[in-house]
Structure 1
Amino acid sequence: MVNRSIDGLVMNQSDKAQQYNEIKTLIDRTLPLVEHGKGYRLGSEFWNQPFRIGNDETGLFTTLKKSEQGILPPIEHIAKPLTILKESDFRLSQPPVSHYPWHESKYLNQRLKQLDPLITELVPHRPQFSRLELVGKNPFKPDEPESEQSDKNDSKSDYIVIDDTWINKNIVNQENKENTNNPYFLSEEQEQEALADHPDVVQAPIFGPCIVFGGQTADWTGNDIENAGLIALESRLNFETKAGKRVLATFEILNIGTTSIYYDWRKLPDLNPFEMNNQKVQRFYFDTRSNVIMPGDSLKMHIVFKSNIGGIFTERWEFVTHPRLLSAASLVLTLRGVAVQEDKFKKNRILLEENYRKDLFILSRFREI
């Protein structure tokens, strides 16, 4: 009708264009690993920072794209099976229309041969679209009269739906008898056991401010501050190491609510019942800057304890949130570190004690003589 070849139609050109784009994507991903000058920003995407609108507390932060975070999208493979190609009357053996086709370039073939090991590592499994084909068939024929359909044994009640497909129950039962020993087949008892691990009722999301502090839940109870000055939750982290050595521990805070939580750390005064003159030496190290925890995110704090002298040291920090949780009650994190003084002269002392015992033994022998 349009006096054009079948290969020149748009519906038959899209498949080739997708195939060419996949080849270009593979070359673009693997070429920076072979030569310099291509992909000079590869691996340095973390320099991109979110753009801020407004101030730190009430402003908005834009979200970086995954590609800006260094997370490249997966390579997609899209093609048509042979049945679709036959329906569109596409001739695979027909020569291309162009006199200089792109895919027959010598330079392209050399590049693909050079990058083939890296492409195989990047995409180890390449789908064979000529064999990937699923043809469905409707078991119900609406053209038949209702009397003929009622006489058949395969009524609609004899069919079940599996993955949006109508399948005869008799066929399923026959396959169940044959596949009782099949490791990929699950019996009814095995299905019940598999479903036993999943709860029947899923817990509803918590609306409003709510966090998990040291495994304990702290939610918003209103704008009142009747519990100000009281300690609602207190978590403890214990450290033990030798003097001069450092030890690391992790403390996690989860935001399970639907509101952003702004927080700040405030150090509580040390308890000194004996009025001793303690030196102000820092022994616990962690990030005490103000920040925000978005809904669904978690704050993982890495706390380091190190002391050059032996002893037991304690620090108490209050986790101040905005909005205030538990009617402004305090959330306290207690850090307790034990530094054991190493006995550096233990070997020398043992050697002196052995020599002393030997001298006593020799002296006692002389006295006996």
Structure 2
Amino acid sequence: MQQKSLIAIGFEGSANKIGVGIIKHDVNGIATVLANVREGFLPRLTAKHHRENVLHLIKEALKEAKISKTEIDCICFTKGPGMGAPLNSVAVVARTVSLLWKIPIIAVNHCIGHIEMGRMITGAKNPIVLYVSGGNTQVIAYADKRYRIFGETIDIAVGNCLDRFARIIKLPNEPAPGYNIEQYAKHGKNYFDLPYVVKGMDVSFSGILSHIEVLTKNLIMSKPELTEQEVLNLKRDLCFSLQETMFSMLIEITERAMAHVESKEVLIVGGVGCNGRLQEMMGKMVEQRGGFLYATDERFCIDNGVMIAQAGLMAFKFGTRTDMNDTWCTQRYRTDDVFCTWRE
């Protein structure tokens, strides 16, 4: 048992959102989220946006947590994977804060942050993890101090596919392209056949995207005589078809991983994990296997600083410290590269 309560501040800036989170572990190891603030922006202007907003988010997080900087035990930041420019802009801030406040710094894997946040919020013990976001699609299980990747996308991520299709059918970016597709899909009635590409434990989405783009042109763009309502109905059907196909692929490889390791738990993390239809479909599969599904809402499944603080603080408690010379970022930081000192 640790001697005193510990507090960590986390900086997440791997993509188009900048987040600052603060978490506290009491003497019994019970975690409490003290602050979780973030802002998002257009991808092409992300690095500049992060630099301009991170300082006021630090102040906002400290105010929300009702603590001072002197109470913080470690600074945690996203080392990767992610977009190079925003990763580096936030890492510079984390290094500067660490030096100014004279507090140890911990480099965190973005994917591990999602997993540890999900485990903490839901109480899942040792689940099969489906990690689905704009930049990542992986099925993961823990063994021997590492999160092992059982399957993943061999081209684009599921979230990237959804975002790109949203642009094809001209859905807005706000509040998020994937969210808007989900809302359209709820009203879809007709299913269009799309490529279903599962190769062993891996999946492929680029062919689906190419196919549905051509289908959209043939059904909508080449037919100016369609009414506004007819166009809306077709878009809804296409969104419905895309979700059903891709989510079925993800559930197939997740179920195979469950069977392989004889697990009864599934945890969905990452931004796409907020999708209600994905949770519904996965829940039915897990229920049929006599298991339990764990998922979080948009506060914690979308990129946030508190997930970085949580993963970093767990490593900190087991002696991890990052040398300032090792606080560089990388877009190629694999989930299974991390030695998880804190896991049994």
Give the alignment's TM-score, normalised by structure 1.
0.18
Structure with the higher helix share, 1 or 2 = 2
Give the alignment's TM-score, normalised by structure 2.
0.19
Higher Cα radius of gyration = 1
